Amino acid sequence: MEAFLKEFGDYYGYPDAPKNIQQIRDTEFKRLDKGVVYLDHAGSTLYSELQMDNIFKDFTSNVYGNPHSQSDISSGTSDLIADARHQVLEYFNASPEDYSCIFTSGATAALKLVGETFPWTQDSKFLYTMENHNSVLGIREYALGKGASACAVDIEEAANQPGQLASSGPSIKVKHRAVQMRNTSKLQKEESKGDAYNLFAFPSECNFTGLRFNLDLVKLIKENTETTLQGSPFGKSKQWMVLIDAAKGCATLPPDLTEYPADFVVMSFYKLFGYPTGLGALLVRNDVAKLLKKTYFSGGTVAASIADIDFVKRRERVEECFEDGSASFLSIAAIRHGFKLLKSLTPSAIWMHTTSLSIYVKKKLQALRHGNGGGVCVLYGSENLKLSSHKSGPTVTFNLKRPDGSWFGYLEVEKLASLSGIQLRTGCFCNPGACAKYLDLSHSDLLSNVEAGHICWDDNDVINGKPTGAVRVSFGYMSTFEEAKKFIDFIISSFVSPPKNIGNGIAVSGRFPQLPSIELESKESNPSYYLKSVTIYPIKSCAGFSVNRWPLCRTGLLHDREWMIQGLTGEILTQKKVPEMSLISTFIDLEEGLLSVESARCKDKLHIRIKSDSYNPRNDEFDSHANILENHNEETRINCWFTNAIGRQCKLLRYSSSTSKHCLNRNKSPGLCRDLESNINFANEAQFLLISEESVADLNRKLEAKDEDYNRAHEKLDPYRFRPNLVITGGEPYTEDNWRTLKIGDNHFTSLGGCNRCQMINISNEGGQVKKSNEPLTTLASYRRVKGKILFGSLLRYEIDEKTKSWIRVGEEVNPDTE
């Protein structure tokens, strides 16, 4: 802290504000004292508790009504909305004589409004920087649909040359990429080339890297087009309008519209002060608003209309013309409390405070080295690390490398960060242009990634050795040095490798040892292993039941995960979403052909006949395999029971007898499962999960040594916390990692590798109460992490013998083969 303040003490902590950063945190963000480190302010900043108190007092002491009326309350609400418009214009230093503020449902809705109403013709041009959000790229559809051309551009900015006057500013060039057009042969030309309007769009701050764009672009595009667009096919075009996406940048440095008179500026209020969500604004020049072509009219935008003839008279004021329906007047009433907060700190002080944190983090990340000297972090868009440069906002975007130069997947970083209480963002952040540009992804890379199944928000973070996205941390006005320091400590402890060495025969690579191998078996040359328990889980994510013996079939244990619970919108319900599912107990009576289900939330036990003639596939199948119950009354009875048991509408599905090898992947969409040679019902990856008692005991020893508070609050883990089908005993911890095949009794199994664990093992059922914590996953991550996966337990496939009916029995000897 002392070193940080020595460098940034004049900028950090609001020394000249009514409250310093510590007082702000102590009085307005007490909820963050619970150990949460929130570092996604570029996605959405946090609301202040004082801000929400003031909003609540306002709403409980005043009456607001629909402004489309002449009553006193409605008139008062209209005055409040007018004041709110003035506050927005004032924030951007925009004169009401020049600009109007149109309230929308967010920045995206504001951009959509521009795209819909812009006066496109076949001769129009739409230019946009590569670093634009998807919501800006969507305007391209309106332009191309009207026969206009569109083109992505790169901005190149050169510093002043020796002898050049500083007042002349930097040299800015716009380099174009491929021009996009659609078939316009059927479109009729409406105007000549000289009358066409063109649109140039750029963000004030890139939400991918945090790099700020030079706002001189506004005047250069509007007044010096030919020079700025020199060498492109657009240099001769006239009548350019400029759109600034200020959704990200306006939280710290809002564009000054008196100095940089853009035609359109869009913003969202939750990016500024956290609340309200679902409210944004479009600031539009009044002279430009007259050129926009709005088709739809509604209540609020119409002065008069006649229902049975083609007659409508629209309102003339800009905001009244474009704000369809009743304004979101309660949300608009709330923004004055947010602006009051920002005014007490000032945007410039917020920028200095937040940027000091981002530069500190960038410098620390840049300096990190693995034990072999290799760099740990690749930063994107962070060439200038001087706070005085104003070139970057409070955003740090990066990827991490292993000692061998390969990439850590960004999802691994996010997963481990969550376990450490750090909330950050990963992916492309809805900015595909910046993502491709900074990650050096070619069109061929992007298209092949899509063909490989990669889409936004999936688990494919590294494809063909290249990251498909990045990690982003971003700071808000209430962020602290302690949070930045905790983040850096997390990166060092989780991803930085000390010098490679050999200790006790275990090669140390990264901070964590590789999974122990045969050296652990040296204590016992011929260890004995036995099957301790067999557990069946008839319904995915519900409790299972243990038996002494059970039949095997082509899907593994008979009836294991043969059912699942589905929400009404089609999503698969699991304990991660619905922890109460762990309280549903199950049992199958093979002789009676009954599945019995019980829950403390339901008075009666549920009995379901499971004989094959009780089911008959219907047309509404689930992924071509699961079929709802034929008998409607029976179906209703069962689904009502489960709805009561978990407290939400749902239905029970059963896996069919199809021999297809498709299954559900972790994204809950059809895909090829990892175990391609067998059927696995509704299991995630394999027919069986095997857990060793000795491995669980070793994990318990590590938990005891690590966290006394955890041990006081929780009982020792037992193997069933990990939902195993088979629990074995004997030998040393983790010897199962090295098994290739094994024989249990007379039955043969093939090991498919380790089981990648998730947050579900952090959910426990203690005395009928569902509890969540960060353990044991956090501890497992410290020594069982391999290539982004936290492995514990082994996945198995049963090698079925079609000639015999096989059973598996508790007490049978387990004979592994490690070769």
The answer, yes or no, to whether the previous bond of 261 is cis (omega within 30 of 0) is no
Residues whose CB falls within 8 Å of the CB of residue 295, separated by 6 or more in sequence, listed in order: 116
- Distance between CA atoms of residues 650 and 640, nearest Å: 8
The pairing of strands 556-557 and 563-567 is unpaired
> What's the full length of the chain, in residues?
819
- Distance between CA atoms of residues 371 and 376, nearest Å: 10
CA triplet 10, 15, 16: central angle to 5 degrees? 115
The answer, yes or no, to whether the previous bond of 394 is cis (omega within 30 of 0) is no
The sign of the CA dihedral 161, 166, 168, 170 is positive
Q: What is the DSSP secondary-structure string of 751-773?
A: EEEEEE--GGGGEEEETTEEEE-
For residue 582, how many other CB atoms are within 10 A of its CB? 17
Q: What six digits make up the tokens of 261?
A: 């008179």
> Per the residue annotation, which of 101, 430, 650, 663 is the catalytic one?
430
Determine contact, residues 506/515, Cβ cutoff 8 Å: no
- Distance between CA atoms of residues 650 and 628, nearest Å: 12
What is residue 314's three-state secondary structure? strand
What values do phi and psi take at 717, rounded to 5?
-70, 140
CA triplet 391, 393, 398: central angle to 5 degrees? 100
Cα 356 to Cα 103, 390, 473, distances in angstroms:
33, 11, 14
For residue 716, how many other CB atoms are within 10 A of its CB? 13
Determine contact, residues 340/84, Cβ cutoff 8 Å: no
Determine contact, residues 643/655, Cβ cutoff 8 Å: no
Q: Largest Cα–Cα distance of the chain, in whole Å? A: 95
Cα 789 to Cα 398, 412, 515, 777, distances in angstroms:
20, 7, 12, 11
Active-site annotation holds for 250: no
Burial class of 366 by CB neighbour count within 10 A (0 to 12, 13 to 18, 19+):
middle
Q: What six digits make up the tokens of 165?
A: 């006057």
Cα 750 to Cα 599, 683, 799, distances in angstroms:
36, 17, 7
What is residue 225's three-state secondary structure? helix
Q: Where are the alpha helices (DSSP H) in 1-154?
A: 2-8, 21-28, 49-61, 72-91, 107-117, 134-137, 139-145
Query: Which are the catalytic amino acids?
Result: 430
